[in-house]
Amino acid sequence: MSDTVRSLSTSGLAPKQQIQCWTDALTDLCGHFDVDPMEASSFEGRVNYTTVSKLKLCQIEASQHRIAHTISRARLSEHPYVKILFQTHGISYFEQNGRHIVVMPGDCLAYDVSCPHTIVSPAHTRHEVVIVPKELLLERGFRLSKMSACKLSARTGTGRIAHDFVHAVFDEATKLSPNNAAGVADSLIDLLLLPLREADTMFDRVGPEAMYVRAQGFIREHLRDPDLTIDQISAALGCTKRYLHMLFSDRGMTVSDYIWQTRLQNCRHELETQAGKTITDVAFSWGFSSSSHFSRVFRKYFGFVPSAIHKAQHAGLSPEVP
């Protein structure tokens, strides 16, 4: 049979013991890191982990903390891994080689563990992690020398398929024979490489058009977040706010224009296709915080108020659009 699922928790330990316990756990999994609970008086962490052939799969839950692999500890032999992290709860802030990436639920973060980096989680977080020895990626021709930390979506496409498969493999790991575990591990690596290769291709296309497409994708994924900001978008893309503004101004709009127009289009579609929803419910679900403000900007953009859609539906008509 495959390896068992092991569990470790810092619950019930003294604060200093909690940090040492967590440091030891990380060292066993993928190398030494500095752990800082920041201003918290204690650190609560729990990890369930198993191995499937040469892969390590982890389910990690932790209170606020910061982990760092610093330059002083940067010995490649200690961290010969690529980590694929699927965020399932909370927000984390990742930094490596000057790139800052915001990781939210539904995001997947892939990065070279051997390069110095920090991850700050200001509140409770949960994520599922696959730790992949670099040798397994090199065998498959993946260009690790060019790999930059990248954020992918686990909500749709190959990213979602990969996450679903990771979750299933973790649940079934203890039931696999050694031969089956090796086959499943090979399939999992090949599946994880699909979104990684897509990201690799995207990063090869460094022009503004590719960055604009990435910006659109990130905005659409986070449209329902009322606190979506330009700072958040630029951090996620690893570009400056000035460059982000330039991408949209070259296309005749501001970043804010694109956000609000896309929200309004989604609101209109939802009002027209889901007659049971109220205007307020729809507005709030797409990031508007005031129904009166929503009605004003909706009318300015479409030329009629959102209530006209409900009235037209009752009359069996469509609203007049100029």
Edge-to-edge strands of the sheet including 65-69? 34-36, 65-69, 117-121, 92-96, 99-103
Return residue ranges of the chain for CATH 1.10.10.60. Answer: 206-322
Higher pLDDT, 268 or 199: 268
**Does residue 15 contact residue 59 with C-beta atoms inside 8 Å?**
no
User: CA-CA distance, 15 to 41, in Å (whole number)?
Assistant: 7
Fold observed for domain 6-204 = Jelly Rolls (2.60.120)
Q: Find the angle CA(118)-CA(189)-CA(95) to the nearest 5 degrees.
A: 10
pLDDT tens digit sequence for 57-110: 999 999 999 999 886 554 545 688 999 999 999 999 999 877 788 999 999 999
pTM: 0.62
Looking at residue 204, its pLDDT comes to 45
pLDDT for residue 206 is more than 70: no
User: Mean pLDDT of all residues in the chain?
Assistant: 86
The answer on pLDDT for 172 being more than 90 is: yes
pLDDT by residue (tens digit) across 219-230?
Answer: 988 888 988 999
Question: Is 206-322 a CATH 1.10.10.60 domain?
Answer: yes
**Helices 241-249 and 230-237 sit at what angle, rounded to 10 degrees?**
100
Strand, helix or coil for residue 110:
strand
Q: What are phi and psi of 143, to 5 degrees?
A: -85, 85
Q: Where do the CATH 2.60.120.10 domains begin and end in the chain?
A: 6-204
Residues 6+ apart with CB under 8 A from 97: 115, 148, 149
For residue 1, pLDDT over 50 is answered with no
Main-chain phi, psi angles of 88, to 5 degrees = -115, -15
The model's confidence at residue 315, banded by pLDDT at 50, 70 and 90, is low
